[in-house]
Amino acid sequence: MKQFVLTGILLTVFLVSCTTTTASPTIPSSPTARNTSIPVTNSPEPEITAASRLELPDYGDLALAHMKSISDRIGSRPAGTDAEAQTVQYLVKVFEKLRYPSQVQPFTVNVDGNTIQSANVIAIKQGLSSQEIIVGAHYDSVKVGQGADDNASGVGVLLEVADRIKDKETPYSIRFILFGAEEAGLQGSKYYVSQMTQEQGQNTIAMINLDSLTAGDIAYIYGDPGAKGVIRNWALDYAAKNKLPLQTQPGENPKYPAGTTGDWSDHAPFKDVGIPYTYLESTNWTLGDKDGYTQVDPQYGKDGEIWHTQYDTLDYIDATFPGRVQQRLELYVKVLEAVLTEFKLE
């Protein structure tokens, strides 16, 4: 989210593929990918999955468990660090438990003269149509804090929804992507888009980005202006019908027309190549410069910001805003699940 440039060297990057008997869309891979292995004991075991339970947990419970594992047990995850690599391991293990075809897409970038190695984690659900919706969230963080809101929250929601819809029919095929090195300049999403073929781009009907979902005062959904913002509009109608507290930003800042947002997260590279975007985020566009950077009242966090500060921990967010984390995770899981299982282009 609203990235700062960080540098580091990822000590180990690996490529893992999971196979199934079900045909799935092709996962683009890096031409420089190397088959290497990392001891799986380096990262936490996923605490719970719906696949192992007779009944699904309450909405948001799975997301919270993943959020805790990533932010509390792994901690901060700057690009190019062992902690970022451990998170890759964790994500692969989750998809393995869910029996999703998955792959790690390594990439190398140069940031301020330093070489950073990172990776994207990709998993696919076959839908009734071969056309795809991409659902993305970055798993890295800045150095300070634990990256709970930014962005273990987005990762948690993505993983819970992947879990919940695993055995459900979806109108479109779903490509889940966990991006590395977002905080180093959207490097994971930029790399992924650079590897897409023209055919893959034309086959993608939308990219849905999940970033910083729990700390901010207000739950928002954004999208392209006009007709390309169809998923945003559909989700807002769904939320209104189901009495869910979701809104879009009102456009009080002329730099950001109503319903849209800035190009500071992983939706931006997809938007740049013409793929429609939808973006879920919690912040407060009525505060500060009305640009979405001030998440909460300035008496909290660092002048109203939780992300990129030492306050980005579950302990601080829970103590300062009791119940907010669980409420937001429940909201976003419900909305995203509905979009992926019910939305259809007319």
Q: CB 55: neighbour CB atoms within 10 A?
A: 6
pLDDT at 278 over 90: yes
Q: CB 28: neighbour CB atoms within 10 A?
A: 17
pTM attached to this predicted model: 0.88
SS (H, E, C) 69-127: HHHHHHCCCCCCCHHHHHHHHHHHHHHHHHCCCEEEEEEEEEECCEEEEEEEEEEEECC
Would you give the distance in Å from CA 63 to the centre of its chain? 12
pLDDT at 73 over 90: yes
More confident residue, 227 or 28: 227
Question: Could you give the C-alpha distances from 111 to 4, 183, 185, 264, in angstroms and in order?
Answer: 11, 11, 8, 17
Q: Where residue 2 falls among pLDDT bands split at 50, 70, 90?
A: low
Output the pLDDT for position 173. Answer: 98
CA distance 179 to 110: 17
Output the pLDDT for position 43. Answer: 76
pLDDT at 179 over 90: yes
CATH numbers and ranges of domains, the chain:
40-342 (3.40.630.10)
Task: Find out whether 162 and 63 touch, Cβ atoms under 8 Å.
Answer: no
Find the mean pLDDT for residues 62-72. 97
pLDDT at 292 over 70: yes
Summarize pLDDT for 309-343 with one digit per residue, the tens: 999 999 999 999 999 999 999 999 999 999 999 99
